[in-house]
Structure 1
Amino acid sequence: MISELEIILRLILAGIAGGVIGFEREQHNRPAGFRTHILVCVGACLMTLVSIYSFDGPEGQIGRGADPARIASSIITGVGFLGAGTILRQGSTIRGLTTAASIWVVAGIGLAFGAGFYFGGTITLVIIVISLYSLGNVERVLARKRRFRELKIRVLDQPGMLAKITKILGDRGVNISNIWMSEAEFLEDYQAHVISIILHVRVPGKLNIDDLLHVVFHSEGVLELSWEGTDITAETLEFGLDLNNKKQ
């Protein structure tokens, strides 16, 4: 039978591991942060301890005759549903995948510590911490080079509006992969017929997105503008949101 001191040690290690990973998510204001990761990791550790040591088997041997893997597999499945709640879609961007993955892997670390697999749990923790703290900038640089972004514009229904927008983008080296336009509709707010234009674009890595959006926003005939699901306003452009480096 495992000692009480060993139980305390495993639960504390799980709490520390969950806190380290959760702290990084908390710094980036993610839906699941510091406390959530601690709870998931400690809970997974506790349930692993219960599944291994708390069921009497034949001849009074603790844990024998039971199937510890059954609870472990249920933990992974349950945590998968929890992580799915952090995933959001904004325009063409899917946000929250990293947080969902961190919740899932922190449950695995809790399982490892609960089973006494300290080496595997610790090495996994180190790898995850390095990935979250050190590789984010590398990921953003690669993403800017390969990924198409969504620019949505609502404009007055006037001749040449699409050509004006595409010229602004083309002059700055922005590659347009797809264009969608709605039918013209009359909006009371503007007392005019307007159309919506959605463009999927690839932006050069050195281009300042804030400056690009400023030019588009203040073009004659442009009424509304959103970038990757984020509505752009005069206040947004005045104070700036550093959209070049906005984390996904």
Structure 2
Amino acid sequence: MAWVDTVLDTVAAEFSDAGDVAQFTRVVLRLTLAAVLGFALGFEREQQGKAAGVRTHMLVAIGSAMFVLIPQQTGIVPADMSRVIQGLVAGVGFLCAGTILKHGKDEQQVQGLTTAAGLWMTAAIGMACGLGRETTAILSTLLALAVLSLVPRVVSVLERFTGPRTAPPENAVDSHRIPASPDDPPLR
């Protein structure tokens, strides 16, 4: 049956992007590491009750890894890879922008900036995994987890000594403003 051989050959050719065991292992390792590191960041965010949690961070990390891994497998030249990375960063920026909310009087209160920055960082970590920069990806994840977990505690301890940071009253003088006329109040 010649048609069965043709079908089998076609199926085998379609799965030839991981032609040998080394290449297959490399792809599995990079995508799995991206998923694990995305999970770590997403778990921290989910524990803080943020909308973008485990699944979102994992998908951003895996997707970012794939966007750089696939062109790399096809033999893309470095100049073209830089365009892929530029497009990926811009695309993730749109995703991150969707997590930022403005509300309150005159929309002066902003929420979601840390989540947006975390997703942006997760995309960068995914790219590092996809490009085979596993050590950089792991170190970046540990640093990001420290920023997300430890920095709020450090700030809390510092505020005990210095007092909490408060917003200036609406009628406070802006110390960075240059008086426009002699009638303006003096700068402090």
Q: Distance in 2 between matches of 1:27 and 1:52?
A: 35
The CA distance in 2 between the partners of 1:130 and 1:105, in whole Å, is: 13
Q: Give how far 1:116 is off.
A: 0.5
Q: Which residue of 1 aligns with 2:174?
A: none
Displacement, 1:178? 2.2
- Stretches of structure 1 that go unaligned for 5 or more consecutive residues are 55-61, 149-175, 180-248
Aligned to 1:209: none
Flag as ranges the 4+ runs of structure 1 deviating above 4 A: 140-144
Within 2, Cα distance between the matches of 1:32 and 1:89? Answer: 17
Paired position in structure 1 for 2:4: none
Matched, 1:30 2:73: no
Tell me, which stretches of 5 or more residues in structure 2 are unaligned?
Answer: 1-18, 172-188
Structure holding more strand per residue: 1
**1:132 counterpart residue number:** 148
Alpha-carbon distance in 2 for matches of 1:5, 1:15: 15
Q: Deviations over 1:91-134 (max 9, x none)?
A: 24311110000000100000001001112111101100111111
Distance 1:110 1:38 in 2: 9
CA distance in 2, matches of 1:5, 1:35: 24
User: Partners in 1 of 2:169 and 2:77 — Cα distance?
Assistant: 61
Identity in percent: 35
Q: How far apart are the structure 2 equivalents of 1:87 and 1:107? A: 17
TM-score (norm 1): 0.54
The structure with the largest helix share of the pair is 2
- In the alignment, which residue of structure 2 is the partner of 1:41? 61
Q: Which moved more, 1:118-127 or 1:1-10?
A: 1-10
The structural deviation recorded for 1:68 is: 1.2
Normalised by the length of structure 2, the TM-score is 0.70
d(CA) in 2 for partners of 1:30 and 1:83? 13
Residues 60-111 of structure 1: per-residue CA shift (max 9 Å, x gap): xx33487111111111111111111111123243111100000001000000
2:76 paired residue number: 63
Counterparts of 1:6-155 in structure 2, within 5 Å, are: 6-54=26-74, 62-64=75-77, 67-91=80-104, 92-139=108-155, 142=159, 145-148=164-167
Residue 79 of structure 1 aligns to which amino acid in structure 2? V
Helix, strand or coil for the counterpart of 1:147? Answer: coil
Tell me the equivalent position of 1:183: none
**Residue matched to 1:154:** none
Task: Report the number of matched residues.
Answer: 146
* Larger Rg belongs to: 1
RMSD: 2.4
SS of match in other structure, 1:94: strand
Q: Which amino acid aligns with 1:72?
A: I
Matched, 1:177 2:169: yes
User: Structure 1 residue 145: deviation in Å?
Assistant: 2.5
Q: CA 1:65/1:21 → structure 2, altered by over 3 Å: closer, same or farther? A: closer
Q: 2:41, 2:165 → 1: CA distance? A: 28
Structure number with the bigger relative contact order (C-alpha 8 A, sep ≥ 6) is: 2
